[in-house]
Structure 1
Amino acid sequence: DDQYQLIADYLNAGKPVMGFRTATHAFTGKGATGDFRWGQFGLKILGETWISHHGRHKGQGTRAVLEPQNANHPVLNGVGDIFGPTDVYGIRNLDPAKSTILFRGAVTATLDEDSPAIEGPKNDPMMPLAWFRTYTAPNGTSEGQAFCTTLGASVDMLDKDLRRLFVNTAYHLTGLKTNKAADVQFVDHFQPTFYGFNNVKGYYRKRNLRISDFKLGSNASTGLANPKSAPAWRPMLPF
């Protein structure tokens, strides 16, 4: 309860929130602060909870398609084409009338960045992919601004235009002007491992990782093998 209260205090102050991918289902269980149930964090704060893998998980990717009426939004300053080797999430509860949708997600045939969007009902209509909305805080009265995207797995971060969207959003939500020349390069070597559950018994106990293992220059990855459907990730260096 004390840990939940720290988050509640932040939200009750109306401070900005950025949610990436699985943030829509960040909490489980029956935890609550007053009448606010933390299992509904995604729904109440970000505008959506876990619904489904709309695209085929670990088989189909996501291409961001600009929502035309919001093409001049300041967070899109300098942002080009975005592709993520993660599947599009199903969206059912987000209210378009109370949200500013920046992108919709086109389901692509494979996880390759050059893969075309598939034809058929999966992409008609396309699911919202990134949006802003006003949230009501756990105290029931305060309001704040939230950004959410169902992109955001580690492998998605290889896309520089997605990183620019995140940097621009951080500027925008804190009252700063976006800069299309902002540096969005990595500050260290970055070679993400593929997303998914690690069910190897005792794996992390054997790794015995410590905070110091994640300092700059360490590249402490989980070391899991990529599935056959995954492209060969190219290590990203800070230059």
Structure 2
Amino acid sequence: MKNLLPILICLFLFACKEQKEAKTNETATVATTDTPEQWLTFEGSDKNAKHIVLISGDEEYRSEESMPQLAKILSQHHGFNCTVLFAQDPANPGIIDANYVKNIPGLEALDSADLMIISTRFRALPDDQMKQIDDYLMAGKPVIGLRTATHAFNFKDEDVSSYKHYGNSYKGDMEEWEGGFGRLVLGENWVSHHGHHKHQSTKGFVTDAGKTTGITNSIADGDVWASADVYEVRLPMSGDSQPIIYGKVMNRKGEFDENDIFYGMRPTDDEAAKTNNAGKDVSEPLMPVAWTRTYQIPGGKKGKAFTSTAFSAVDFTIEGTRRLVVNAVYWTLDLPVPTMTNVELVGSYNPTTYEFRKDEYWDQKQLKISDFK
């Protein structure tokens, strides 16, 4: 009995330890379950590498699919540290909802960002999130805007916001902000579709000025292609905007196919369109679909901006279209632009067609941010 007592004490202590560890593990599991990932980080080759923040959040062109792939290319092939942000309902964190326009968590990442890549559409973010973007632009840090970033924000009359001047349709007392973020920062806001949407594609042609920037290194005429149609811009462009790529409107050779990611259009389509579906002449002048400019918001420092409207998630499968964006990253960061920049896709990339989707789609899809790791 004397020898049995120490053994019983040891067994008791061991059981207590096991129970404590089980509770700790259970707590950790619950904590992990309760806090789903609301944004993604992709580490580059060096902790001191440039930090790029990529902001998705548009209802149509699937930036929630393209931005993680772009971040993977930039981090794995080029060593940049990347943070990718997503639109989501705060009541359902960690689940992407491209239709929810009032929340993109994680924008505080801009505090340490060297470059902001934005591909949002008609967002109406709360003041604390808009302030992060405003502070970044005040510092004159570089910006890349993709496709719908020309109309990145939109505030309704009933919206309570200190940043309504960022809205696409702004025509208020702050005259410098007429046309909002798109017009003041990127050089243009939403005007109209120049090509026939889902029926006429965009084929890029390098401008003379584009050949001197490095942005078009290893990009020949026709390499940049997008099934997303040419956007109209007002000419001449504002400020010191410099066209880099002109977009020629191309007719679809084959039949329209709603089940095809390009809707039946192909990079090999070779007939330039003369008119669009409204009968408007689209042959001359050609619209810029990629350009550079210097921006400066009131009270802020000057900064560099690059914009490309020849972009959607499915068009990011085109090597030349990817190379244009990656080259622009180097240009905006004042780094030498490589020749034949590595833009090989990382992992599986299966983008879906650009289209508007109903709220019910996002409710049922329950698309996790963590799925895009």
TM-score by length of 2: 0.54
The corresponding residue for 2:91 is none
Alignment of 1:46-65 (within 5 A): 46-65=186-205
Q: 1:106 and 2:106 equivalent? A: no
Q: 1:180 and 2:363 equivalent? A: no
Larger Rg: 2
Pairwise CA distance, 1:95: 2.0
Higher relative contact order (CA 8 A, sep 6+): 1
C-alpha RMSD over aligned residues: 1.8
Which runs of 5 or more structure 1 residues have no equivalent in the other structure?
216-239
Pairwise CA distance, 1:140: 3.1
Name the aligned partner's letter for residue 232 of structure 2: G
Q: 1:7 and 2:133 equivalent? A: yes
The corresponding residue for 2:360 is 202
The count of aligned residue pairs is 211
Alignment of 1:1-239 (within 5 A): 1-29=127-155, 31-33=161-163, 37-39=165-167, 40-80=180-220, 81-92=223-234, 95=237, 98-110=240-252, 111-116=265-270, 117-119=272-274, 121-137=281-297, 139-199=298-358, 201-215=359-373
C-alpha distance in structure 2 between counterparts of 1:93 and 1:24, whole Å: 15
Which runs of 5 or more structure 2 residues have no equivalent in the other structure?
1-126, 168-179, 253-264, 276-280
Pairwise CA distance, 1:73: 2.1
Deviates more, 1:142-151 or 1:120-129: 120-129
CA contact (8 A) 2:211 2:217 kept: no
C-alpha distance in structure 2 between counterparts of 1:19 and 1:114, whole Å: 27
C-alpha distance in structure 2 between counterparts of 1:97 and 1:184, whole Å: 31
CA contact (8 A) 1:79 1:180 kept: no
Change (3 A) 1:69 1:175: closer
C-alpha distance in structure 2 between counterparts of 1:205 and 1:178, whole Å: 42
C-alpha distance in structure 2 between counterparts of 1:187 and 1:15, whole Å: 28
Pairwise CA distance, 1:203: 1.7
TM-score by length of 1: 0.82
Pairwise CA distance, 1:212: 2.1
The corresponding residue for 1:226 is none
Name the aligned partner's letter for residue 274 of structure 2: E
C-alpha distance in structure 2 between counterparts of 1:53 and 1:19, whole Å: 17
Identity %: 38
